[in-house]
Amino acid sequence: MSGEATPKSRLSLWQAAWVIARRDFVAILFSRYFIFFLLGPLFPLVIGTLAAGVGQRVDDATAQTDIAVAMAPADVDAMLRAQGALQPTLGPTLPHMVVLRRLAPGERFDARAALSRPRGNIAAVLTGTPAHPVLTATARRAEEWKGAVSLIAARALAKDEPVYPGVQTVGVKSSGASQRVGRVHTAQVSLTLLFIVTIFLTGMVMSTLIEEKANKIIEILAAAIPVDALFFGKLFAMFLVSMVGITVWVTAIGGLIELAGMNPAMLGGFDVHNLPTPGVGWPLYLGLAVIYFTMNYLVIGSVFLTIGSIAATVREVQTLSMPATMAQIVVFFVATLALVDPGGPLEVVAILFPLSSPYAMLARAAIEDSLWPHLLAIGWQALWVVLFIRGGASLFRRKVMKSGPQPLKLRRRDRRAAPEVA
């Protein structure tokens, strides 16, 4: 009848995409393997933190290296007294000296043979006299210690007691150079985390799609809703799952940082509450990190989802995804190298190239305090996100229903068996 409203036969594109996103999100979130997926990255983190504390203790126990003195008894005593007198002033920059042997008059001593035998922490042997000291050590140790040995020998030869004036010190929390170094370290860590998290999370997109293609579920979904909606829904569902995973990991890392703050030995004495501040400040930097992760994930996720639609088996997924993964590694290294060329051609290329732009701009946010480049970069990246998603959806629409190439003999047989139309 004309007065009755015609019901819609199918959902709209975005309604169908929301249905798929909600379905995949709930199915993955409440699955058993998702718990192990969340715990997977935390085990290496906890083990690495504990290993850092143990390693620091081992380093502290083996860090001290000694210079063994083999001279005449009077020269040995003079060198040890000089070393003791200079120790309060020079502190840890002065090498520690121990007595190896007090030589009798005319006694010859082979320093090379003595150094080749394991004797505790002895890294060098000092022979000769204070007026003509001879340091036997590796080239690196000799270069490092020859100045200190010369200073100790000069102090041993001095007849008058020198006066070492006290130095008044004024402490500051940081300097321009230390801030620059700290910001570069922040950028390096951020790039590494962004790369690892993106690669780790985008892998779920292909594995889920291949499982549904093998079970023919994808064909049922594609018959009920637009294929573009299927692509959008799966992409954004995995993005939401990724945000849940990142939230859990950030919370766990925050608890670990607080625990390490109460026990500095866990991180080898590193003060986690005195982290270098990024150029744009921590609140804005964390917000930009979320935005750049979103841009990077949507671009890479659309690429991997498209690869999953092309592949028919797990082996094909591994073969086709390898070039994309290697390209991501190259992009990561290019963005890291751009740190040594701020404002140069390499950084400009890294910012303009869509796959490396999130990495380069996140590093820039850690080093520089200007905000307007990020507004332009976010718009530029959003444009490429739209292009990658539209291109991926187009290819997904053509390839997702194909489980693999049809054999040539089967195609010929089907054509021969087809009835002729009069």
Q: How far is CA 368 from CA 161, 278, 308, 343, in A?
A: 52, 8, 38, 11
Residues 6+ apart with CB under 8 A from 208: 24, 28, 234, 238
- Strand, coil or helix: 120: coil
Residue corresponding to tokens 């307007």: 372
Q: Which residues contact 310 (CB under 8 A, 6 or more apart)?
A: 316, 320, 395, 399
Concatenated DSSP letters of 316-345: HHHHHHHHHHHHHHHHHHHHHHGGGSTTSH
Q: Is 21:234 a contact under the CB 8 Å cutoff?
A: yes
Alpha-carbon span 355 to 359, nearest angstrom: 8
Q: Torsion-angle region of residue 353: left (phi > 0), alpha (psi -120 to 50) or beta?
A: beta
Q: Helix, strand, or coil here: 128? A: strand
Give the list of residues 6+ apart from residue 16 with CB closer than 8 angstroms, or none. 10, 225, 226, 229, 230, 233
Q: Pull the structure tokens for residue 41.
A: 């990255």
Structure tokens at 45: 């983190």
Place of tokens 């001593």: 109
In a 3-state reduction of DSSP, which class is residue 173?
A: coil
- Could you read off the pLDDT tens digit of each residue along the chain, which spans 422 residues? 444 444 444 678 888 889 889 988 888 888 877 888 787 777 766 676 666 566 556 555 555 678 999 999 999 999 999 998 888 888 878 888 999 999 998 888 888 888 887 766 788 999 999 999 999 998 888 898 999 999 999 999 987 777 777 677 776 666 667 778 888 888 888 898 898 888 888 777 777 777 777 777 777 777 778 888 888 898 898 898 888 988 888 888 777 666 655 555 455 445 555 667 888 988 999 999 999 999 999 999 898 888 877 777 667 777 877 888 888 889 999 998 988 888 889 999 999 999 999 999 999 999 998 999 999 999 999 999 999 999 988 888 887 665 444 444 444 544 454 444 43
**Paired strand residues for 124:** 67, 137
Q: What structural domains does the chain harbor?
A: 65-157 (3.40.190), 178-405 (no CATH)
CB distance 350 to 191 below 8 Å: no
For residue 122, which phi and psi values (nearest 5 degrees)?
Answer: -70, 120
What's the rounded Cα separation, in Å, for the pair 347 and 190? 16
User: ∠ CA(276), CA(287), CA(389), 5° rounding?
Assistant: 130
Are 221 and 20 within 8 A, CB to CB? yes
